[in-house]
Amino acid sequence: MKKIIIFLLLLIPLAGIAQSYVFPPEIKFKEMPGLDSVKVSVVFQDNRTYTRKLNERCTKEELFQIFAGYIQKSLPGISLTVLEEEKYNDEPQSGVVTLKINLLKYESVLMNTVYIAPTKYKVVLTDKRGEPKEFTETITIEARQMNTLGHKSGQIAANTSFRKALEKLISMFDKLQ
């Protein structure tokens, strides 16, 4: 009897439809020295498209605010200004480093018994403090976590994906030094 109950409990998640969540990122970060007194403008654009309804735990504005906070904490020497989303297509200012982040995907999807958490965004880093330099990269990270803790497993997968993608983004600033 025990074996039948355990078997049925294992099958229940398999019978369900994939569930998608957007969790607010909660990660630990590493400070990156250098870039003291550099003015950085960051502008976000949200181009996420989903085929299924999301269970959002944070809005895009909250997500962008969290994102900007982690950038500031990771690069404590910079002076960070967050621009409105409408300014995404504007020409970068001279004398400033401009960081454009186009968010393409950020979610945590429960598929059978595993949370899959992709994070994908296109980054354009433009340095107009002297001779103009521009670096472009599409950052794509996917993390997986067995569903052993319920929604907490989805949060863990999302945090892992977000942290690794943020580390790649912050490493782009090495090109400015």
Q: Residue 15: what pLDDT? A: 44
Tens digit of each residue's pLDDT (9 = 90 or more) over 85-118: 999 999 999 999 999 999 999 999 999 899 999 9
Q: Residue 1: what pLDDT? A: 62
The total number of residues written for the chain in this structure: 177
Residue 94 in 3-state DSSP?
coil
Contacts of 61 (CB under 8 A, 6+ apart): none
Closest listed residue to residue 42, CA positions, set 94, 93, 81, 96: 81
Which residue in this structure is represented by tokens 């109950």?
A: 5
Closest listed residue to residue 155, CA positions, set 112, 111, 107: 107
Extents of the domains making up the chain: 18-176
On whether the 18-176 domain is CATH 3.40.50, my answer is yes
Q: Residue 23: what pLDDT? A: 67
Q: Residue 29: what pLDDT? A: 57
Q: Which portions of the chain are predicted below pLDDT 70?
A: 1-18, 23-34
Closest listed residue to residue 110, CA positions, set 67, 61, 153: 153
Distances (CA, A) of 31 to 25, 76, 98, 164: 17, 7, 20, 14
